[in-house]
Chain A
Amino acid sequence: NAGVTQTPKFQVLKTGQSMTLQCAQDMNHEYMSWYRQDPGMGLRLIHYSVGAGITDQGEVPNGYNVSRSTTEDFPLRLLSAAPSQTSVYFCASRRHQGTVGYGYTFGSGTRLTVV
């Protein structure tokens, strides 16, 4: 049982480049989210999804796109990377309905540097 798998673990981008951070879970969780974590700022919600075909914006969605074509996958796309997007990105999943007390399972994170 792999849990939540994020790839890549590390990435360096040049300003203006685009890329996709991958996230996959094998727990049949309906709810998936993307967060970024900067020093001293905790986790900030970028986008989230309550099921295939449904996505919504979080606190800091600008510069990022998501899609949810399957229950398992929730990729995060950076459209045109900027130095302000240098951060650690975490993908997380949890059950949505009926078991609201369950917390997130987090992936191991992607450390992104934009130069």
Chain B
Amino acid sequence: GQNIDQPTEMTATEGAIVQINCTYQTSGFNGLFWYQQHAGEAPTFLSYNVLDGLEEKGRFSSFLSRSKGYSYLLLKELQMKDSASYLCAVRVQPGYSSASKIIFGSGTRLSIRP
């Protein structure tokens, strides 16, 4: 089966840095996505990692360790508009000739305080 774990809620201060962790246990792992979802809206794509290491995109960075089944999303210089849920999603390919599918974790609700 597939198992993806994230903290349910986190709180951080405007201007600070926050790290949101995601651990996964899946078969056929083939990449990890991060999405942002504001309340009442659809998710939007933030980042994708398939190889070990850090990917940086402006204030957001995402890290992956395939051997540890671990990823994190790092948000710098936090702004009030960063208050949202952050969803970790794993791309899995059940078999060589099978199509891949994307499975989501339950998400982390991040609140930013002034």
Chains A and B belong together in one complex: yes
- Interface residues of chain A, those whose CB is within 8 Å of chain B, are 33, 35, 40-45, 48, 50, 54, 56, 58-59, 90, 96, 100-109
Chain B hits for A33, CB < 8 A: 101-102
Given A103-B45, A109-B42, A45-B103 contact (CB < 8 Å): yes
Chain B residue with minimal CB distance to A30? B99
Encoded as 1 (CB less than 8 Å from any A CB) or 0, chain B from 16 to 45 comes to 000000000000001101010000011111
Besides the contacts A104-B102, A106-B44, what 20 more A-B pairs have beta carbons closer than 8 Å?
A: A33-B101, A33-B102, A35-B104, A41-B106, A42-B104, A42-B105, A42-B107, A43-B89, A44-B104, A45-B104, A48-B99, A50-B99, A56-B101, A90-B42, A100-B31, A100-B50, A101-B50, A103-B45, A104-B43, A105-B45
> What are the residues of chain B within 8 A of A103 when measuring CB–CB?
33, 35, 45-46, 48
CB within 8 Å of A: which residues of B?
8, 30-31, 33, 35, 41-46, 48, 50, 87, 89, 91, 99, 101-107
B42 touches A106 (CB 8 A): yes
A108 CB contact (under 8 Å) in B42, B50, B102, B107: B42
Q: In whole angstroms, how far apart are the Cα atoms of A35 and B89 in the complex?
A: 13
Pairwise interchain contact B48-A43, C-beta atoms closer than 8 A: no
